[in-house]
């Protein structure tokens, strides 16, 4: 049996994504009185491998694996032989002999794909330069718990067409949402991702649109979303990006252009007064800490689903 990976949002179908969100809600509701069946990882170990910094992803996977009855092993890649040049393929093969799943935060999507190809256990994308699919699951859970549904809602993302934008485009399309991305010219999401989102949207009712005017994109939005202007690995571009992205700050003016009950979202960490004003992130529309909490519930649901399917070869080629 081959392992089932979650490297990109589209590794779940629309129906599977909805089922993961349902399970996430159920796990959240009974977190303090869990069902015996919720211990999907009992007797299993999960490696959490980080090649970039993390607060939310690291903590929520660590706690989540433990709550599912499993044993989390958190690894800072720089302290391993990866930091001294051992290949990602050899690392994947070795980890597969010890653990039952590998959750990894890395740089290029290609590195994640190489790791998955060499692993015999499920690999989960905990953020790559290309996508942040676990974040998008938590975001959809957060929107759904406030609005009761996702289909037909408009989410407007302002800023860099980055990993978070890509995942919102794809996961939003799977859920039948309209995702509008307003970016400065030259910083738009990848065309191939926008095209893929629209192909999915043809079946779900979703739509992906790239725009350049923040206020136009925000008009009538149900959700306003932003992320940092310089992602991890782009620190050297922080100053030039701060200038280019000024017109895309999520501030009170943008909130006023949206629906009166608009939800304001940010995956965090935020740079206050850069991509979002303090008044907005601390204001009545903001659900940023619900998003952060839902990382825990959504990822528990995802891991339970990957294991429940029996599409897992189990830790170690010899087992
Ligand atoms: N949103 C998110 O992934 O946060 P961390 O970088 O703290 O994990
Ligand atoms: N786009 C950001 C997200 C951080 C959670 C980054 O990659 O740094």
Is the Cα dihedral 277, 283, 285, 290 positive or negative? Answer: positive
The DSSP code for 69 is T
pLDDT digits (tens, 9 = 90+) for 167-203: 999 999 999 999 999 999 999 999 999 999 999 999 9
Q: What are phi and psi of 131, to 5 degrees?
A: -155, 160
Percent of the chain with pLDDT over 90: 94
292 C-alpha to center of ligand 1: Å? 8
CA dist list (Å): 301 to 7, 20, 62, 68 = 16, 6, 14, 10
Query: Going by CA atoms, what residue is nearest to atom 6 of ligand 2?
Result: 231
Report the residue among 125, 138, 231, 245 best suited for mutation to probe ligand 2: largest number of ligand atoms under 8 A from its CB: 231
Q: Is 17 a catalytic residue?
A: no
pLDDT of res. 2: 75
pLDDT of res. 217: 98
Q: What are phi and psi of 303, to 5 degrees?
A: -60, -40
pLDDT of res. 308: 85
Spans of the chain below 50 pLDDT: 311-319
Please state the atom number of ligand 2 nearest to the C-alpha of residue 232.
8
Extract the tokens encoding 37. Answer: 């069946």
Q: Is 135 a catalytic residue?
A: yes
**Which value does ipTM take for this structure?**
0.99
pLDDT of res. 276: 98
Rounded Cα gap, residues 278 and 271, in angstroms: 9
pLDDT of res. 29: 97
211 C-beta neighbours (distance < 10 Å), count: 15
Q: Is the pTM of this model over 0.90?
A: yes
CATH number of 5-131+295-310: 3.40.50.1370
pLDDT digits (tens, 9 = 90+) for 278-298: 999 999 999 999 999 999 999
- Comma-separated ranges of CATH 3.40.50.1370 domains in the chain: 5-131+295-310, 135-292
Please state the atom number of ligand 2 nearest to the C-alpha of residue 127.
7
Assigned architecture for domain 135-292: 3-Layer(aba) Sandwich (3.40)
Q: Which of 5, 208, 253, 205 is nearest to 121 (CA)?
A: 5
pLDDT of res. 180: 98
Residue 27 in contact with ligand 2 by CB distance below 6 A:
no
């Amino acid at each position: 049996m081959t392992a089932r990976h979650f490297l990109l949002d589209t590794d779940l179908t629309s129906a599977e994504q909805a089922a993961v969100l349902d399970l996430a809600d159920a796990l959240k509701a009974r977190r303090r009185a869990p069902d015996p069946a919720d211990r999907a990882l009992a007797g299993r170990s999960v490696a959490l491998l980080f090649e970039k910094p993390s607060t939310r992803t690291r903590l929520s996977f660590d706690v989540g694996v433990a709550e599912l009855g499993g044993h989390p092993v958190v690894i800072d890649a720089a302290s391993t032989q990866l930091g001294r040049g051992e290949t990602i393929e050899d690392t994947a093969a070795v980890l597969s002999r010890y653990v039952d799943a590998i959750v990894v935060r890395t740089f290029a999507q290609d590195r994640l794909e190489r790791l998955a190809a060499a692993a015999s256990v499920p690999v989960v994308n905990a953020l790559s330069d290309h996508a942040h699919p676990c974040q998008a699951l938590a975001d959809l859970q957060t929107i759904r718990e406030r609005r009761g549904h996702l289909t037909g809602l408009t989410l407007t993302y302002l800023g860099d067409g980055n990993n978070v934008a890509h995942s919102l485009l794809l996961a939003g399309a799977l859920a039948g949402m309209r995702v509008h991305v307003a970016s400065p010219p030259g910083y738009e999401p990848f065309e191939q991702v926008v095209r893929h989102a629209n192909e999915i949207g043809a079946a779900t009712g979703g739509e992906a649109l790239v725009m350049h005017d923040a206020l136009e994109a925000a008009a009538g939005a149900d959700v306003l979303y932003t992320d940092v202007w310089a992602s991890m690995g782009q620190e050297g571009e922080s100053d030039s990006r701060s200038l280019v992205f000024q017109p895309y700050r999520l501030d009170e003016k943008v909130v006023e252009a949206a629906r009166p009950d608009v939800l304001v979202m940010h995956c965090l960490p935020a740079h206050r007064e850069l991509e979002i004003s303090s008044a907005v992130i601390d204001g009545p529309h903001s659900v940023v800490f619900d998003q952060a909490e839902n990382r825990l519930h959504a990822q528990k649901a995802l891991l339970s689903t990957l294991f429940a399917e029996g599409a897992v070869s189990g830790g170690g080629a010899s087992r």
